[in-house]
């Protein structure tokens, strides 16, 4: 008789995370097929619309790269904290603050055409994101306030701040009262990197962040201390690794990265500050970080997949007429499948043959 047994892995497997991610993707495809069937769309056509069609045209690929940039930035930042069990779920809010700070500079220095404007916006956006996340770090370290709840609440506050600014102080005075700022000048915009698409240079920021994350995770003592704090808080405490320091690093890094993503949106496809600056990139970034196994290289691939789901959702809306809610559901299924499969990271299935009695 043979049966399947679940047993702990003795060593860390390098390919296990890839297998787990692939398995989760397959489960998501199955879930997606069921979803399309519910909407009365042929599953194959639906899946083709979401996962293949965007990749058939230069424009589609450009859209995927465009959406990949913020996801990559946010997820690389969040993963640093997640490894230390510091859960920043307010990247959406930090993104908004980054967008606001960058827009303020773009509006203030509009028409100067200075080549320093875009770099200044990048720095300002990053600092604003860091400051917003820093509030959560301060409240956690000084008052023990749970950072998950505080970062979420701060996102809701950031949204209201954005609504206030685009209907008040930062509104375009000639904009017929629309809740949006003036359109930024050329010097406040990221250049596009592929002709005929909207993909812009903010993707480079994401790639640089990835390279920095690889070096940070692999070679820095600070990253090691963060990981120990996450895996074994007791051990980290006895080793004298400061948990407060870990919280500050985790939140400032992730906040700064999310702020940069905000700059990429207003200085990229939007070209102005408006009410809707992110279709939930801050939350999707959480999925990307987890799906990538909290590994910088894994996150690079995960961000591409998640960007494909975003763009594919839009394509499916146009070509087969399923509502855009499909994007959110597919994201949820993807994360749930990954979490379920991640049991296989520490355990493995083995076929056990029992000798006949």
Partner 1 sequence: MDVLIFMVSGTLAAATALIFAAMGELVAEKSGMLNLGIEGMMATGAAMGFVAATVSGSYTVGFLAAAVLGALLSAVFAVLTLVFRANQTASGLAIGILGLGLSSAIGKKFESMTLPGVPDLPLGPLAQIPVIGPMFFQLDVMVYLSIVLVFATWYMLNRTRLGLTIRAVGESPENAHALGLPVLWIRAGCVAFGGAMAGIGGAYMSTAYTPLWAEGMIAGRGWIVVALTVFGTWMVPRVAFGAYLFGSISLLELSIQALGVNVPSQLMSALPYLVTIFMLALISRNTLFIRLNSPASLGATFRL
Choosing from 164, 178, 204, 237, the residue that interacts with partner 1 (CB under 8 A) is: 164
CA dihedral 137, 141, 144, 145 (to 10 degrees): -10
Return the residue of 154, 246, 247, 300 that touches partner 1, per CB under 8 A.
Answer: 154
The answer to whether residue 254 forms part of the interface with partner 1 (CB under 8 A) is: no
- Figure out which of the listed residues 15, 115, 143, 351 binds partner 1, where binding follows CB under 8 A: 143
- Residue 163 as a binder of partner 1 (CB under 8 A): the answer is yes
335: contact with partner 1 by CB under 8 A: yes
Measured between alpha carbons, how far is 60 from 268 in angstroms, rounded to an integer?
17
Contact criterion met (CB below 8 Å) for 2 and 351: yes
Least distance (Å) from partner 1 to the CB of residue 286?
Answer: 6
Phi, psi angle pair for 225, to nearest 5°: -65, -40
Any idea which residue has 């995960």 for tokens? 302
248 within 8 A of 133, measured Cβ to Cβ: no
- Is the Cβ of residue 40 or residue 323 nearer to partner 1 in the bound state? 323
Is 153 a residue that touches partner 1 (CB under 8 A)? yes
DSSP H or E segment with residue 322? none
Interaction mask 41-80, partner 1, x per CB under 8 A: ----------------------------------------
Compute the distance between CA of residue 124 and CA of residue 101 in angstroms, rounded to an integer.
6
Rounded to 5 degrees, what are φ and ψ at 320? -115, 0
Of 107-115, 145-153, 179-187, 195-203, which part binds partner 1 (CB under 8 A)? 145-153
Collapse the DSSP code of 332 into the 3-class scheme (helix H, G, I; strand E, B; otherwise coil) and give the result. helix
- DSSP strands (E only) in the chain: 2-8, 347-353
Cα end-to-end distance, the chain, whole Å: 10
Cβ nearer to partner 1, comparing 113 with 323? 323
Q: Using the minimum distance from each CB to partner 1, give the nearer residue, 101 or 286.
A: 286
State in angstroms the smallest separation of the CB of 346 from partner 1. 9
Which residues contribute to the site for partner 1 (CB under 8 A)?
Answer: 87, 89, 139, 143-146, 148-150, 152-154, 156-157, 160-161, 163-164, 167-168, 283, 286-287, 290, 323-333, 335-336, 339-343
């Amino acid at each position: 008789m043979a049966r399947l047994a679940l047993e702990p892995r003795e060593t860390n497997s390098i390919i296990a995370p890839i297998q787990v991610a692939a398995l989760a993707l397959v489960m998501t495809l199955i879930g997606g097929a069921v979803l399309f069937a519910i909407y009365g769309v042929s599953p194959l056509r639906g899946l083709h619309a979401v996962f293949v069609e965007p990749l058939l045209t230069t424009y589609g690929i450009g859209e995927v790269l465009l959406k990949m940039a913020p996801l990559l930035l946010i997820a690389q930042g969040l993963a640093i904290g997640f490894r230390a069990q510091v859960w920043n779920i307010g990247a959406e809010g930090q993104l908004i603050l980054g967008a606001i700070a960058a827009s303020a500079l773009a509006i203030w220095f509009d028409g100067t055409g200075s080549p320093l404007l875009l770099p200044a916006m990048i720095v300002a956006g990053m600092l604003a994101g860091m400051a917003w996340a820093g509030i959560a770090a301060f409240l956690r370290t000084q008052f023990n306030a749970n950072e998950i709840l505080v970062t979420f609440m701060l996102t809701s506050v950031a949204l209201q701040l954005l609504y206030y600014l685009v209907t008040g102080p930062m509104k375009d005075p000639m904009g017929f009262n629309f809740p949006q700022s003036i359109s930024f000048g050329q010097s406040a915009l990221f250049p596009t990197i592929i002709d005929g698409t909207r993909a812009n240079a903010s993707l480079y920021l994401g790639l640089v962040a990835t390279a920095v994350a690889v070096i940070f995770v692999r070679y820095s003592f600070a990253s090691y201390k963060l990981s120990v704090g996450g895996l074994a808080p007791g051990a980290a405490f006895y080793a004298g690794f400061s948990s407060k320091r870990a919280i500050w690093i985790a939140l400032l890094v992730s906040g700064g990265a999310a702020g940069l993503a905000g700059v990429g949106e207003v200085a990229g496809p939007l070209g102005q500050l408006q009410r809707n600056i992110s279709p939930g990139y801050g939350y999707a970034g959480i999925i990307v970080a987890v799906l990538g196994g909290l590994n910088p290289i894994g996150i690079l691939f995960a961000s591409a997949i998640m960007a494909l789901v975003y763009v594919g959702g839009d394509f499916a809306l146009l070509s087969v007429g399923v509502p855009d809610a499909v994007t959110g559901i597919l994201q949820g299924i993807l994360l749930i499948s990954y979490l379920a499969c991640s049991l296989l990271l520490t355990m493995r299935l083995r076929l056990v043959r029992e000798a006949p009695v």
